[in-house]
Amino acid sequence: MEDIIKKEVVVAKFGGSSLSDTCQFNKVREIVLADSRRRYIIPSAPGKRDVSDFKITDILYLCHEHVQKGVPFDEVYKIIIGRYLQLCEELNITFDMLGSLTDLKEKIISGASVDYVASRGEYLNGLILAEYLGVEFIDAAEIIIFKKSGQLDEEATYKAVSNRLSKVEKAVIPGFYGATLKGEIKTFSRGGSDITGAIIAKSVQAMVYENWTDVSGFLMADPRIVENPKHIEEITYKELRELSYMGANVFHEEAIFPVKKDGIPINIKNTNKPLDEGTYIVDDKSIVKVGDITGISGKKDFTVISIEKTLMKREKGFHRRILSILESNDVSFEHIPSGLDSVSLIIDDSQLGDKLEKILEEIERQCSPDSLIVYPNMALVAVVGKGMIRTKGISGKVFGALAKADINIRMINQGSNELSIIVGVENEDFENAIRAIYSAFKSKVK
Ligand code: ASP
């Protein structure tokens, strides 16, 4: 019975670019109508219509910021009014959008919370989409339940969603936010409508969670770096997690968790090319991969703190002291490769902020190293692939490609799950490193 239910429900989340104007709304309606199993629809706020345009969410944050600084925001707010009124007019929406926008402006002026203000982009877009599709609107504040701390209350949420939806044939549920039991609106982090979609998919045990965006899924490498990279048809949750963490950001990395446990596949689809297969994100058991790599991603701007001390391994608590220094400075690290008498801390610059001097001084004081050297401007490149574990020579090929491109490798890390090989290179070698690795593998990639 469970399985039958699973096979009849599709949850479809549409991102901001899929709902940026009337033409996009039309495409969304066609997609929804094309398959009656698409029963629960999760919209983002309207996104950019072109590169020079604004995302409604960004403007909402800006309005809130203006109020905090005591600066009038009428001009900025006009952009929001213009976008929503145009949508309502062109789509023949009958509800009083101007009234809602006037109320919202009042609330922003009287100091509404930043989460409340930001969430209205999805809320208002949800109202429009529900009327346009002729389906029920369910306010996410009723069913996506947050704890006072701002964290999702998973158990309460799954229960509330499945109860509420059990008798609802079709509904639009805005993404990105929910509320505490006291009714205080809370949002997920940016891009969080993906998480709402995943929560709904899990709660109703959907057969698939479709995530509609403006690209036909994942590519093996960033197309701004590699020309025409190959498309990834299928990827496991874990591989995707590694790729997203390292910078491939089509999908919110936290949105994997709700569906992963129940093995609900995620299908990244393109609203502008709905017939493209997209990329399927599935669980480990569903694909048997041999050979090659799935994708390459990476990030720039890491700092390496290299610590040397003879016989450090014999000094009990040496590493603990180093890690406590990071902890007390509220800094987390990416990797800690170590040698016989050395250990390096690889830290994302955004974590480090202006704390480097203080951290160095504390390491000096508490660990008395023989040498303490800082190497800034490092980039990390991750070569990800589930098939690696059973294939010989992958790392040889990665290192060979980098050597041939005359790129110096500064760090190597391969996790014990053999899902990825991570290499550290100079920031300035980053793009070349990705291109070199990609071309070494592209001929064999399936
Ligand atoms: N509108 C929100 C943002 O821009 C959430 C989302 O689109 O997923 O971050």
**Ligand 1 centroid – CA 62 distance (Å):** 14
Distance (Å, rounded) from C-alpha 430 to C-alpha 177? Answer: 36
Instruction: Select the more confidently predicted residue: 33 or 6.
Output: 33
Distance (Å, rounded) from C-alpha 72 to C-alpha 174? Answer: 28
**Ligand 1 centroid – CA 144 distance (Å):** 16
pLDDT band at 321 (very low <50, low <70, confident <90, very high): very high
Average pLDDT over residues 147-174: 96
Closest residue by CA, ligand 1 atom 8: 191
What pLDDT score was predicted for residue 249? 73
Residues in contact with ligand 1 by the CB-under-6-Å rule are 16, 44-45, 55, 57, 121, 175-176, 190-194
Average pLDDT over residues 36-56: 96
The pLDDT of residue 113 is above 50: yes
User: Is-contact 345 304, C-beta < 8 A?
Assistant: yes
Distance (Å, rounded) from C-alpha 43 to C-alpha 125? Answer: 7
Distance (Å, rounded) from C-alpha 279 to C-alpha 237? Answer: 12
What pLDDT score was predicted for residue 4? 40
Q: How confident is the prediction for the chain on average, in pLDDT?
A: 92
Closest residue by CA, ligand 1 atom 6: 191
User: Is-contact 323 415, C-beta < 8 A?
Assistant: no
**Ligand 1 centroid – CA 271 distance (Å):** 17
Percentage of the chain beyond pLDDT 90 is 80
Percentage of the chain beyond pLDDT 70 is 96
Residue 444 has a CB neighbour count (10 Å cut-off) of: 10
Helix (H) or strand (E) holding 197: helix 193-203
**Ligand 1 centroid – CA 91 distance (Å):** 22
Mutation choice for ligand 1 from 19, 55, 83, 250, CB with most ligand atoms inside 8 A: 55
Instruction: Select the more confidently predicted residue: 109 or 414.
Output: 109
Report the atom number in ligand 1 closest to the C-alpha of 121: 1
**Ligand 1 centroid – CA 116 distance (Å):** 13
**Ligand 1 centroid – CA 253 distance (Å):** 14
**Ligand 1 centroid – CA 156 distance (Å):** 23
Mutation choice for ligand 1 from 57, 194, 250, 268, CB with most ligand atoms inside 8 A: 57
Report the atom number in ligand 1 closest to the C-alpha of 176: 5
pLDDT band at 283 (very low <50, low <70, confident <90, very high): confident
The pLDDT of residue 170 is above 50: yes
Average pLDDT over residues 344-348: 95
Nearest to 175 by CA among 20, 44, 267, 56: 44
Report the atom number in ligand 1 closest to the C-alpha of 16: 7
Nearest to 337 by CA among 401, 408, 409: 409
The pLDDT of residue 247 is above 80: no
Rounded to two decimals, what is the model's pTM?
0.85
The pLDDT of residue 167 is above 50: yes
**Ligand 1 centroid – CA 142 distance (Å):** 19
Average pLDDT over residues 195-206: 97
Average pLDDT over residues 297-310: 95
**Ligand 1 centroid – CA 424 distance (Å):** 31
Average pLDDT over residues 200-209: 97
Mutation choice for ligand 1 from 13, 14, 44, 55, CB with most ligand atoms inside 8 A: 44
Closest residue by CA, ligand 1 atom 2: 191
Q: Out of 123-127, 305-309, 333-337, which region has the weakest mean confidence (pLDDT)? A: 333-337
Closest residue by CA, ligand 1 atom 5: 191
Proportion of the chain in helix, strand, coil states, percent, rounded to 5 = 45, 20, 35
Nearest to 265 by CA among 276, 256, 277: 256
What pLDDT score was predicted for residue 287? 65
Average pLDDT over residues 83-106: 97
